[in-house]
Structures are given as structure tokens and as C-alpha cells.
Structure 1
């Protein structure tokens, strides 16, 4: 990276901090104008305090950032500077200055103006924070002693509790294996009676309700089968490692449900583990639904909700990468939607962790012949004998198929009366049958059909920006795709792919207005 880029980032951070300090000063000057305004000002300061910690940290490690990483940081910080400068100017205009030149209270302004202006700023800063967090947490993957030293600096870590630096430090410790012993994820099976789970329609996840009282917390259960050909020792280690990383996951920040822990079960009379069950906390008491079940209902859905689901899924994929894992099973059966109880769109969460593995662990190169799974796999990963090791780009491709499906709001998979999956007419191609993965030519034909379907059908429904995002996903492993193609980038720790994903997919979705 050029020294000029690094210096530019440091300069932008300093400018943001100056605006932020002024914002806090003004906020304290106008306290007392009204109880509701005071509440908003406290929220404003809280958001800024979190942001300032992240910015100071990023400035400290800027010399160790990849060029692409610096550029996306610069892009987001320039956006923040614009937001801060506008609100500072507005608050400056209402602050009253006494005869001694000291700021105290507010001028005679309409209360509604003050409240609306601060409320809008709080919302804008929250939205900015949601965009910024994925780039911030990529710091976890940078293998450099300066990052570790900066994390240990009391200036960044003192009194932060569960703040952003604390979470990054925790995740880095897990990736290096230095904090594993301090986190316990093994649960007592007696406290989680898995015989009481109920199936979630068209989903790999089951629901566990504890007690008959509606106020009792419910959980979602993902099961990793330890069949005879599974390396139980590795499955156990990987499951515990993933559970520890997901234990700190904030659903709002990570787009992933918080993992309560693991329940391990054995067959009657056997010593060998038969299954490992991930226990996830339900974000609300509202009943969840699988995305597949929703797609099959064919009920009208707003474009706003489609976009919200797409943004949730993209965030989930980004943070799985930060956790140093690949999912390997992204499809509507492994995605649940949960209403949040008010008028905003329901949230979507990626589950189905029954095929995951560490991003850098040697893959088994094994697949299967289930068409409903192969449908979401890149051509190089379809069939029983796959051609390429699994990497993050394969998850990006699977995300692209899902984004195409929800963008069109049709189901690519149907189920008969016995709940057996079959090819749906939603694919709109007579040339694509259930044996599409039998030959390399047929596999490629399906991918080309997806790309054509996106370019022909999505613009009129979701717009050009959404279409571009989907095509980026579907072509991420094409040799002429310089954004993601493994042959086009050098990426020892996965940061560059993560940055490109955020830039082209996450921010691409966030920039869409409905």
C-alpha cells in the first residue's frame, strides 16, 4: 500500500474525530431543552463513543492494511464526515452563547425542529454503523503483531466490556487458540430435552420450547450428524470452535443468531458420538419460518422486505467469513425468518451448520447427488466427486442463487405431498432437469441459465443495482471476474476477498433505495 493512502486515511479519521468531539460538546450544551431531546442526545453520544473507539483503532493499524481495505475505509469515513458536518452545523445554529462567549442552552427554536434533526442524525449514524461494522471486523483476519499490540493498548480496551475492540480481541484469541479454555459451550443434555423438538417446515433446523409457558425461551436446534464416515474428533473440535465464535455474535451486528452452546448425544449402548446439536437463542418469541416455506406460499411480498432479507443474508455470509469458516450449505432450507413484532420487515438468519468447516482446513472433496443441494452449489462443487476445494467464493455463489430466487420471489424447489423435493417450474427452463450435475457441460448450463435469468428478469422487479449484485455473486469464480476470481487476487488471510465482498455485495445492497 502507498504511504499516501495510509496518510489520507489517518487524516480522514482525524477530521471525523474533530467533528465528533464538537458534536458531543454541542450535545451537552443543549441538554435540558426537553426530556425527549435529552434522550436522543444520550443515544447520539453513545453511538459516537462506540464509533470513535473504532476509528482511533483503525488509524493506529492503518499502516498494516491492504490497499483495497484502506480504500473502502476511506469511502465509508468520507460518508461519515458528511453526516457529522451537517448535524454539527445544524446544532451550532441553535446553541445560545452568553455574554462571556460560553455556550449554554438553546436559542428560541421550534422544539419539533430540534427533535426531528437529532432523531434523523441518530438514525443516519446507526445506518452508517451497520455499513461500517463488516469492514471493521475484518481486522480479526489480519495476521500482524501490530494489530495484537494495538488491541492490548489500554487506550482502546479499557472499560469497553462487550464493545467492538473487546469482540475483535475475543475473536482473534479464538482464531489463534489462546482463549478457547476460557469459554465453555458444552451443555447438559438434561437441560435441553431434544425429544421435545418440533420440525420447522421445509427447514433443516428444529424448534425446542422449554416448558408450556409462552414466556419460556425457545431455541433453534441445528444437528450435525456423526455418521460412520465422519471424523468425530475433528467434528467435535470444529463444532466447539464455531460455537465459541458464535457465542459472542450479536444478531443485530453479525446477522447471525447467538449460540447458546452444544448438546452432544450418543446412540443407546454406544460410546461413539452420534450427533452434535447447536443450540441457538431465538431472537424473539414470535414463531420462525423457513425461507423455503415462505417462497412456496407465493404470497405477495414488498420489495422492501425482499431487499431487507437480502441484506441480512449478505451480512451473515460476511461474518461467517470473519469467524474463519465456510458454510457450505446456503439455501432457503437453512435460512429462517423471524418477525420482530413491529412494522419493520422480519429479519432473516442463516443456520444449517451441518456442513461447515474451517476456511483453511483441507476439504474432503466429497459431495452428494441431492439435486436440492447441488442447485445452490457452483458447478465445480456439484455431484458426488467435486472438482475444487471449497473456498469463500463458493458461499458467495450460493448466496447469489438465493438472492436471485428471492428477487424473483419464486421457489426453485417444490415439494410433493410426502415432502419430497423436486425441481420447480420457477427455474423456467426445459433444459434444466434434476440430473443437471451429471456432466460438466450440464453443470455449466445451469449456472449460465441463472445468470441469464438474473439479467433478463431481475431489472424489472428489483432494479439494475440489485441485478448487478446477483450477477457479481454468480460469476465470482469466473476467470474474467477480477473482483473475486482466485487467480486474479493474492489473498493470504482472506481479507481481500472479504473487502471485495463488502464493497460489491454488502454495500451494493445497502445503496439500493425502495
Structure 2
């Protein structure tokens, strides 16, 4: 049997790293004039400090079960690589200072800690990614353990910093305290929302007051009225409340600002706000999606040719790894809300451009940069335990993202969270090969019989494609992650939180490993 020291070595190591990183930045930033980068780092090191106190206290608390401490140790194993990367940067920075010439040391002292602004911004991003992962992992803990960690009796609660208050606030939302949000103000009048002029679409930009928002329509039967319509609207309200708690940079889901009913189109409309760090084109009618990016074409380079061809990927590989990780975060958040999304596909992943910071006027855009992904398409989402009519549809372009037992007009199984994991795997495959799935030869299976669908013929095709193409362009580990998703059965025998956490862990390792 392993000793306590061996079992909890990751907690001890992670706490030590957190203290070291916190101490370095606390010392270096104390006299620095605040700007957006400095404020971001200060917020993140406050959370680092709280993490160190909370986890160190938990490791020593005899009232916490060994099984729970092992769970915390697993979290630390996941969080440690990014802290190691940051600590390595700190060591290099300190060694460079020790070996610098007297002139360089004087210049460094005069110019201060920010003489390498771009380098500092990279570390600030790593710190943000660490706190993001910490929030998500903590959000998945059993509520009793989470409450114990955040309100321990060793004085942490009374000494609560702003970072710990942020954590508590986040998890008050992530643990679905949305029932305390009043209905008042959520429903808007249709006239309050001004859609941008252009062809009607299921997802459009609009204006609410002075704010640019995103509108997404959820249709209902034109005959729906009376009590049935009220019940339908209550489900819309319930989801809007949950989505109004979403922290977009953390959850990768846009925060809901309300909804309205459009009787002329027999639909409800979800209203979403945009986070401050993204920009929206003033002349765009609807947002760009991941599928739109993958389908981007360019003139064929062949001499004299007037044809076009698909644009190959021109962004860095680590961009796709981080992009994939963010999509998995969105799926995790949906499942933490105890909902099934049911429509995870590349056409439901909205991609927004990141605003340029004052210190970096040019941040790059597609195709050199991918942008910020957010999962949308909640028109078919429902609570995991809610009654299901088990009806499907025959849309081929949608069915290719669905588990074999969820395809067609009469699916074989009730939709579960693990069916979402399968769909995530298909999205990760399409992201990896960077080609629309329908252009890969998959269309020849469009007319598959019910027996062929039941035999998972499309799934086998996708797995074969993953094995042949992904190792070359994305690496073996990414390929294994996609196959892991495609092989998850939908019967729920394996808890979805365990499955999505494993997918997220695999993608985090890839993203961190490329930094």
C-alpha cells in the first residue's frame, strides 16, 4: 500500500509550485502601474494563493475521506503541468538576470518588469488557463466536498480574498443556483430586439438597447397554444436562467440576456450577450461558425484555372489543440447543468474574433488565427432526466454527427449525455482533418439502410478516417482522443462527467504540451 506522502505527492508539489509562482509575481508586480495584463495576473495569483491554502489544508484535514483526497490529488496532477511551465519561465527569467551584464541590469531596473511585454502576456495567458482549468475541475467535485473546501474551519473562510470570492460566486452559478433568478426581465418584447437586415436565418446578430447581441431561434409547432405553449415557454425560461449564469470565457457558452416570443414565425428566440474580449463585425448578419471556417475556399493555384479549392489550415497546430479543449469545456458545462445538448456539430460552434489589446494592435485573424469558439444551438437541448419523445429527423448533414443509435426518424435509444460525447468526437475529427466531412467521401453512405445505420456503418467510416488521417496531421494522442469519443456507448453505463473529464484531460495535455 502506498504511503500517504506518495498518495498526496501531487497535492504537495502543486501547492509548492503555486506558492512559488504567487511569491514571484507578488514581489515583481507590487510597484507596477496597473493595466489589463497586470490586473489579470493579480487576479490569477490571488486564486493561486487561495488554491494553495485550500488544498494544503485539505491534505491535512482528517475529516476529509481518503477517497476524496485522492480525487484532489488527481486534480493536482492535471493542474501541475501549466504551473511547471510558468515556474520554468520564472527560473529562466531569474537566471537571465543573474548572468546579465551590469548595463543590462541597470536597464532592466529602469525599464522595470515589463521590458518584455509580449513575454509577460504569454505568461498571463498561461496563468489564466491555469485558473480556468482549476475552476472547471473544482466545479465537477461532489457538492459536500466542494463546500468543505471552500468553507473549511481553519480560517480560510474568514481570510477570504477576492480570488476565493470569485470561486464561490462561480460555483454558486455552476451548481445551478439559477432557480433564485427572478423571471422578471427575462422575457423581452419582440419590438425591443432589432435584427440586422438581411436574409432570415436561425441565428442572427441584433441590437438590444445599445448592445449588439446574438439571437437564436427555437421553433415550435404552429398549432401550439394555451397550456401547451405555457409549458413550452417555461422550459425556455428555465434554460435561459441557467445560461444567464454562464461565464463565457470559462464555460465557452455565451451568457443569455433573455428571450422573446415571435408568434409570426412560431418560435422563441434566445438572446445572448458577447464577452468583452471579442469583436463583432458591423456588417455581418449572422456569426461565422467552425463549419464556415473549414469550408473556406481560395482560387485554385493551377495556371489558368477558374476553380476554387478548400483552404488548407494556416494556423498553428497548438491553436487547434486549444480550440478543441475549449469546445470540450463547453460540453462539460452543459452536462454540469444536467442538460443534454443533442446538437453538437461544427455548424453550432460560433467563432468570434478576439479584440486586439492596446499593447498588441495586431493579434491576427483567420486563417492565421482561429478565434474564440462558443457552443450554441440550444434549440433542441433538454434536461437530462426530462421526458423524451425519442423522435429524430432524417437530415443527413445532422445525422453524421449523431451516435448510430440516435440517427433517423425513430432512434433506438433515449438521448443521453454520452451521445453528446460521440458528437464531440465527430466535431474533433472534422476539426483535425480540416475538411468538411461531406467532402471526404462520407456522402456515399447517405442512402444507408436502417440495417446499415444500426450496424454503425457511418461510425466505422469515421473511425477509419480518424486512424488514417489524424496521426499525420494532429498526432497519435489526438487521434486516440477522437476514437475514445467515438467508442463511448450511449447507454450511460459510464458516468458522463467521468467521460468528458477524461476527454478534457487528454486535450489539456496536448494544449499544454505545445506551449
Give the TM-score range, shorter chain. Answer: 0.7 to 0.9
Residue 358 of structure 1 is matched in structure 2 by 383
Name the structure 1 match of 2:408. 383
TM-score (structure 1 length as normaliser): 0.76
Residues in 2 aligned to 1:312 and 1:130: alpha-carbon distance in whole angstroms: 10
Partner Cα separation in structure 1 for residue 118 and residue 470 of structure 2? 35
Q: Which residue of 2 aligns with 1:481?
A: none
Trace 1:267-306 onto structure 2 (pairs within 5 A): 274-282=266-274, 283-286=278-281, 287=284, 288-297=287-296, 298-304=310-316, 306=320
Q: Distance in 2 between matches of 1:132 and 1:373?
A: 35
- The gaps in structure 1 that reach 5 residues or longer are 97-105, 269-273, 413-423, 479-484
Partner of 2:101: none
Q: CA RMSD in A?
A: 3.9
Gaps of 5+ in 2: 99-103, 297-309, 356-362
Once the two structures are TM-superposed, the CA of residue 173 in structure 1 deviates from its matched residue by 4.7
Q: 2:446 aligns with which of 412, 420, 434?
A: 434
Paired with 1:187 and 1:171, the residues of 2 have a C-alpha distance of 25
Aligned 8 A contact 1:223 1:354 in 2: yes
Residue of structure 2 in register with 1:206 after alignment: 204
Of residues 292-301 and 86-95 in structure 1, the stretch that sits farther from structure 2 once superposed is 86-95
Deviation at 1:7, TM superposition (A): 4.3
Evaluate the alpha carbon distance shift between residue 3 and residue 323 of structure 1 in structure 2; reply closer, same or farther with a 3 A threshold.
farther
Question: Is the Cα–Cα contact under 8 Å of residues 328 and 424 in structure 2 kept in the other structure?
Answer: yes
Q: TM-score, normalised by structure 2?
A: 0.76
Match of 1:167 in 2: 170
CA displacement at 1:16 relative to structure 2: 3.5
CA offsets per residue over residues 421-441 of structure 1, 9 Å max, x none?
xxx3x13257x4323362255
Cα distance in 2, alignment partners of residues 508 and 25 from structure 1? 28
The equivalent of 2:396 in structure 1 is: 371
Alpha-carbon separation, structure 2, partners of 1:152 and 1:183 = 32
1:221 to 209, 212, 215: 215
2:404, 2:459 within 8 Å by CA — same for their partners in 1?
yes
Equivalent position of 1:102 in the other structure: none
Do the aligned partners of 1:205 and 1:220 also contact (CA within 8 Å) in 2?
yes
User: What's the CA shift for 1:9?
Assistant: 5.2
1:400 to 425, 435, 442: 425
1:458 maps to 470
Whether the aligned pair in 2 keeps the contact of 1:248 and 1:258 (CA below 8 Å) is yes
How many residue pairs match? The answer is 463
Query: What's the counterpart of residue 99 of structure 1?
Result: none
Q: Deviations over 1:210-256 (max 9, x none)?
A: 69xxxx53221111222258964554333223222322323222212
8 Å CA contact 1:308–1:345 kept in 2: the answer is no
1:72·1:503 contact (CA, 8 Å) conserved in 2? no
| TM-superposed deviation, 1:171 | 2.9
Change (3 A) 1:246 1:496: same
Aligned to 2:126: 127
Q: Secondary structure of 1:345's partner?
A: coil
Q: Deviations over 1:354-398 (max 9, x none)?
A: 110123334332211221221110001111222222222211211
Which residue of 1 is the match for residue 80 of structure 2? 78
C-alpha displacement at 1:172, in angstroms?
A: 2.1
